[in-house]
């Protein structure tokens, strides 16, 4: 009788049921979309962070920044070219290999960090920037008969006439090299790339003259497996080509750590220690322990780095977490309220019906269950509709995949400056701060089973709230009052 009565009542009041279900559906769909978009944002941010850190890294340790002293020129790149004879028009070339950010830690720091409580693994790496300047000077030409002071640009004067023309034409090529600890390849930037050609380093290649190059850089420089790459006069055989999982690669070229140290003149030095914690819940504690026990270091966690992400990804993420979340809560609360009031109003319209049932000997509990049952089914119908609409919304977002831009670093402030390599050969001078870097990430809206579970729970809750309103009213009806009201 319960189900027969329920089914007939819902069919009879289809429109009212549909209004209640639609309200709940809207709220539930919004929750699903906002949740899935938030999840997509998190995934996008994780991708961004992975591209910096590599997989599995919970934090990095770098040397704490120190302000440059007065007259300290060691932090600026310096190129020196010899003067040539006037008839020598050969090109001059100079490779400058610098430690990225100029700050290094002793290699022994890696072991020190590894011994800290809560650290599962620690691997050192050296970020290096190579700047290659290539070009030639042109001699000025003396033009007899010109008065002094009328020399052309770059020219000079002598007693016999003016010097015209002359100057210099140089190309600057800048790219990044990352020295990776080939014996511990589980952590570090290279883990965020996949080897798409050739192979990665062998653990025995600690001092081998081999290189893995990023696919974009390889394409630009026509490098393939087996070819030779020359860095500052040293030749390296390309053994593999790596493609970044998302966005830009962390470096253009990957070398064994010892080779990078030799190139940069930074023997037994690393720029960054990549740390994996034993427990993701203990990251803050591990960070504090490292900073306390190893002086002069800056520890940057994923959360710190996430705070430095700006651009449309950050804006959208803030919107999803702020406005979107509250909007969905408000709509859901309104839907619950409307469902409750409509159910309550439906009870008011059915007082004679419920009064009659009570006169026939139906207990209040049975009448309440009947009302609550109808509301619950309404809620579940709303839930199914809401899940359908929500899934469709999430699918549309994923199908269109709007591109969000994540601006990383740049300020070098706040989070202690996660030291990010600007792959792609920017020409700006190296700075102590983290290099500014933009990544385009396609937004997806993955719907997890947890989200579906949440939607079902909300549907049931919506039904129960509505049923609670209606049931409460129905239970308070006295049969005589109910029957008297229609007389």
Query: Where do contacts with another protein occur on this chain (CB under 8 A)?
Result: 1, 4-5, 8-9, 11-12, 352-353, 355-364, 366, 478-480, 483-484, 486-487
Looking at residue 24, the DSSP 8-state letter turns out to be: H
Residue 439 contacts residue 248 (beta carbons within 8 Å): yes
Tell me whether residue 1 or residue 399 sits nearer to another protein (CB atom): 1
Tell me whether residue 82 or residue 487 sits nearer to another protein (CB atom): 487
The CA-to-CA distance between both ends of the chain, in Å, stands at 28
Residue 354 contacts residue 438 (beta carbons within 8 Å): no
Cα–Cα distance, 124 to 412 (Å, whole number): 21
H or E stretch covering 198? strand 193-198
Q: Which two tokens stand for residue 324?
A: 């979107």
Burial bucket for residue 332 (CB in 10 Å: 0-12, 13-18, 19+): buried
Least Cβ distance, residue 338 to another protein (angstroms) = 24
3-state SS class at 298: strand
Least Cβ distance, residue 484 to another protein (angstroms) = 7
401: CB partners within 8 A, 6+ apart: 442, 443, 444
3-state SS class at 206: coil
Tell me whether residue 138 or residue 349 sits nearer to another protein (CB atom): 349
Tell me whether residue 310 or residue 356 sits nearer to another protein (CB atom): 356
Q: How far is CA 205 from the centre of its chain?
A: 32
Least Cβ distance, residue 358 to another protein (angstroms) = 7
Least Cβ distance, residue 404 to another protein (angstroms) = 52
Cα–Cα distance, 183 to 122 (Å, whole number): 12
Tell me whether residue 329 or residue 362 sits nearer to another protein (CB atom): 362
Tell me whether residue 13 or residue 184 sits nearer to another protein (CB atom): 13
Least Cβ distance, residue 343 to another protein (angstroms) = 17
Tell me whether residue 312 or residue 364 sits nearer to another protein (CB atom): 364
Query: DSSP letters of 63-86?
Result: EPP-PPPTT--TTS---------T
Least Cβ distance, residue 479 to another protein (angstroms) = 5
Tell me whether residue 115 or residue 484 sits nearer to another protein (CB atom): 484
* Phi, psi dihedrals of residue 407, rounded to the nearest 5°: -95, 120
Least Cβ distance, residue 29 to another protein (angstroms) = 30
Cα–Cα distance, 148 to 158 (Å, whole number): 7
Tell me whether residue 11 or residue 292 sits nearer to another protein (CB atom): 11
Least Cβ distance, residue 482 to another protein (angstroms) = 9
Tell me whether residue 1 or residue 449 sits nearer to another protein (CB atom): 1
Nearest Cα residue to 464 out of 363, 362, 350, 382: 382
Q: How far is CA 161 from the centre of its chain?
A: 63
The residue behind tokens 């899934």 is: 391
Residue 186 contacts residue 200 (beta carbons within 8 Å): no
The residue behind tokens 């000077």 is: 137
Strand ranges (DSSP E) for 403-466?
A: 403-408, 437-442
Least Cβ distance, residue 375 to another protein (angstroms) = 16
């Amino acid at each position: 009788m319960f189900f027969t009565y329920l089914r007939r009542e819902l069919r009879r009041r289809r429109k009212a049921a549909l209004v209640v279900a639609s309200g709940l559906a809207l709220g539930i769909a919004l929750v699903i979309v906002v949740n899935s978009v938030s999840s997509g944002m998190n995934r996008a941010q994780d991708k961004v962070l992975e591209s910096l850190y590599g997989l599995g890294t919970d934090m990095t340790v770098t040397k704490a920044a120190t302000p440059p002293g007065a007259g300290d020129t060691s932090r600026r790149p310096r190129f020196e070219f010899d003067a040539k004879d006037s008839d020598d028009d050969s090109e001059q070339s100079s490779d400058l290999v610098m430690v990225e950010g100029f700050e290094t830690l002793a290699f022994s720091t890696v072991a020190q960090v590894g011994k800290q409580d809560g650290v599962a693994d620690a691997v050192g790496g050296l970020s290096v920037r190579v700047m290659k300047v290539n070009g030639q000077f042109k001699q000025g030409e003396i033009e007899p008969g010109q008065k002094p002071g009328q020399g052309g640009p770059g020219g000079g004067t002598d007693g016999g006439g003016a010097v015209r023309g002359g100057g210099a034409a140089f190309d600057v090529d800048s790219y990044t090299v990352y020295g990776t600890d080939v014996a511990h390849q589980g952590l570090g930037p290279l883990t965020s790339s996949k080897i798409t050609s050739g192979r990665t380093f062998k653990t025995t290649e600690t001092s081998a003259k081999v290189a893995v190059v990023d696919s974009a850089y390889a394409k630009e420089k026509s490098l393939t497996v087996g070819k030779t790459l020359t860095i500052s006069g040293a030749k390296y055989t390309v053994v593999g080509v790596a493609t970044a999982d998302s966005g830009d690669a962390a470096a253009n070229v990957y070398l064994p750590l010892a080779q990078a140290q030799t190139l940069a003149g930074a023997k037994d030095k690393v720029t960054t220690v990549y740390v994996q914690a034993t427990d993701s819940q203990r990251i803050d504690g591990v960070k504090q322990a490292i900073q306390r026990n190893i002086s002069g270091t800056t520890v940057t966690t994923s959360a710190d780095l996430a705070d430095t992400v700006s651009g449309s990804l950050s804006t959208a993420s803030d919107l999803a977490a702020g406005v979107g979340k509250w909007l969905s809560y408000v709509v859901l609360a309104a839907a619950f309220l409307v469902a409750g009031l409509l159910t309550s109003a439906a009870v008011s319209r059915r007082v004679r019906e419920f009064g009659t049932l009570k006169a026939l000997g139906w207990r209040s509990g049975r009448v309440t269950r009947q009302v609550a049952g109808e509301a619950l089914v309404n809620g579940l119908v709303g839930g199914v509709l809401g899940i359908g609409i929500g899934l469709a919304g999430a699918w549309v977002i994923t199908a269109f995949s709007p591109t969000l831009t994540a601006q990383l670093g740049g300020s070098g402030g706040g989070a202690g400056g996660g030291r990010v390599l600007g792959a792609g050969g920017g020409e700006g001078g190296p700075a102590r701060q983290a290099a500014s870097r933009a990544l385009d990430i396609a937004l997806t809206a993955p719907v997890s089973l947890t989200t579906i579970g949440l939607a079902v729970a909300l549907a049931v809750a919506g039904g129960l709230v509505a049923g609670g309103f209606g049931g409460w009213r129905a239970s308070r009806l006295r049969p005589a009052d109910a029957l008297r009201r229609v007389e």
